[in-house]
Structure 1
Amino acid sequence: MHRGEAYYARKDLADVHTQDRWRRLGRDVLEEELARPAKALARRRAPGPSPGPAGEVSKTISGRVAGRDPPPDPAGVPPEATEPAAPLVHYYGEWQTRVAVPLAARNGKVPRNAMGNVEVPPLAHALPLGTVHLDLPSVFAVCQALRVDAAPALAGFEHRGGRATPCLRGVVVAAEHEGAVLELYWRQAREREARAEARRRQAAEAAWRSLLRALLARVRLQARYGEEGAGQGGSMQDAAATLLEPEARGGCVAAGRRVDAERGHQHTSAPEEAEEI
């Protein structure tokens, strides 16, 4: 004893965990030990709401603090005695467990836990046998398109505001479906990138057309009213001639080639179309 508190040697101490924690560590609690936990503690209550809308409390006429002092029980029983007891959490030692036999996928079906997902490393010790973890964004939609059984992958928990929020990353599928899912996933990714590139190219071509229209309009105005802007007319005409020189040979500098986003073909504008930009 030390100051009234017992202490023990390190060799006499052992870690205890809940049944779920032992399963994530790769061990199962023995059936005959479930009713005999090494330790049982009351579950901690979740933090409740604040006493008032702004965190303030007010006093009643009798002097009790609203939100802090419970009202008296007419039967004379203290409020603490009528509150339900907090549920107990059972903890087990390693001597009460055995090495877990991992579940296995059967006929393309992925084994799930009670929440309908699959715990993956680093949260779990290992994946179910015959399964793979695909940590890719929006891969679940691909599995649905192929009608492949896929379970959300639970990789851990994020603690926010005193609560644990599950962190889902990708899906878990049977190993025989991995190739088909990845092939369709990357093909769709390439198609999305091609469409995005086509949109960027069209936006660039539109910007060049707008610039050429402005230059052509200015050159034509200076050609018609050249006496007032004779000092700048020559330079602007030379610049416009340089930009429009490829049009005379059958194409436009910026709009001469475009990519069809749907078919992937290249088109070349005709010489007469380049004149009317």
Structure 2
Amino acid sequence: MHRVNGWTCRWLSKGGKKVLSKSILSALPTYVMSIFLLPLEICKNIASAIAQFWWSSNPPKNGIHWAKWEKVYLPREEGGIGFRMIHEFNLALLAKQLWRLVQFPNSLVARVLKGRYYRLSSPLRVNSASSPSYVWTSISTARMLLLLGNRQKIHSGYEVKVWEDPWIPTTHARPAVPVAPIIHPNMRVSDLINQGTKEWDVGLLENYVNLDDIPLIRSLAISSTHRRDTFCWNYTRNGQYTVKSGYWVARNLLKTEEEKEVLEPSITKLQAFA
């Protein structure tokens, strides 16, 4: 805020103000937002600083806001200017960290966090941890966003739970639907694969899985039963998560205020150290 108040834009066109806002003001908190989830109040203050700079003729004097900021934040193809929504962009950056933990489970940071927070589980499953760090709490808040577009890619199937993990290739990946009350709650996808022919066992699928899911499952190619199961992202062509695609999901699919309230961790412990 103080840096913006010192800027003068008397001789700047709207294009120049846009470049200055995007390249400096919007980029300043990017490094912090890739690690920590900013409280909503701070996100509002940053958005307010951008809005005041954009509409005023000579900061710190306030100008007339000729349009709602929700419209200004829209992409250019939707009639907006294309400024980033701070909270949603923050979630997209944190989801990138969570994606790396999932894709590279043998990295040093993944092994450290696994030993502390999800030793017998996955970072994508909800786990209760005693006295979690603010970094882990922040990264965990991006779980909901990542699950909206994340799908487990089947190789061996040994690591994927049939009734719990998102592996069915629908718009939003989901677990399989049972044909009857679940008899084997811990069934793995590998149990549905004929280990001799390395193909789907149609008989087992008909016995356990809902008929509507069977064509979707059979469309999945089993590339190799010796590789570990990986993840793919539904909103990019190569299946790899990007912050740009994550921001689109956060802006368009993660809409409700109830979700946004849940996504803000407590900062009481941080304030205690201030």
Structure number with the higher helix fraction is 2
Which protein has the larger Cα radius of gyration, Structure 1 or Structure 2?
1
Structure number with the higher strand fraction is 1
TM-score class, shorter: under 0.3
Give TM-score scaled by structure 1 length.
0.22
Which structure is richer in relative contact order (CA contacts within 8 A, separation 6 or more)? 2
